[in-house]
Amino acid sequence: MNRLKKQKELKKYCEILTNKVVGMTIPVNKPKDWTSFDVVKKMRNMTKFKKVGHAGTLDPFATGLLILGFGKHTKGLDNYKNAKKEYIVDISLGSSTDTMDRTGKVIKENSDIPEYSMIQIQSVIDSFKGEIKQIPPMYSAKKIKGKRLYKYARKGIEIKRKPIEINIYSIDILSYFGNILKLKVECSTGTYIRVLANDIGEKLGCYGHAKELLRSKIGEYSVDDSFQIEEFAEEWKSLEI
């Protein structure tokens, strides 16, 4: 994307009154190992907006689309929180972890993974399509009794969680090589892709966890149209209104 196009792209997301940006909704590509709050804090400091929020958190190990609202546009973030999401996930078969992703401690392992046929894998994946129930993971930001679950988990405390209803609209196999199963998942809000990866591994009988995770779409927004943080910083400094 050339410089002029970047400027036009940034402006189209801005609400401008009397030569001042009073609000904006910006799609950002969250870097790996950043928390969603890290991104909010960085963008708040950069733009000097007091009110900055996001439309749904991403795990630190994950990358991809994070929609940020600034100023007046924070009120509209709920529209995106409930929108359909699309993810690309690499499931590492052969082990499960306590966090259900690559950052956790291995708790189950299978060194002898069967040679699954695509028919076997497709059959298992199809069983997760539609309206299903998931149990939120202990390592998550979900609050129970006013406290986030991961705070209990870090102390080794297991809290009973009620299953939540979600909808998996589609799951497509993108590739299967070695012990890595790459999927594209379209789902409702509230879906934990880490839990899906773990449950697919359990149902295959070999265990599994999410090795890589990219959020590629939220509603009409795509990660392909999002700003890298460094890219946004450059354009924000030189924005001409």
Annotated active-site positions, please? 59
Distance CA 65, CA 56 (A): 10
On whether the CB atoms of residues 176 and 92 are closer than 8 A, the answer is no
Distance CA 218, CA 225 (A): 12
Going by C-beta distance under 8 Å and a sequence separation of 6 or more, which residues neighbour residue 134?
A: 163, 164, 166, 190, 191, 192, 195, 196, 199
Distance CA 183, CA 75 (A): 33
Rounded-to-5 percentages of helix, strand, coil across the chain: 30, 35, 35
Distance CA 162, CA 159 (A): 10
Distance CA 96, CA 108 (A): 5
On whether the CB atoms of residues 219 and 163 are closer than 8 A, the answer is no
Query: What is the number of alpha carbons within 13 Å of residue 56 lying toward its C-beta?
Result: 26
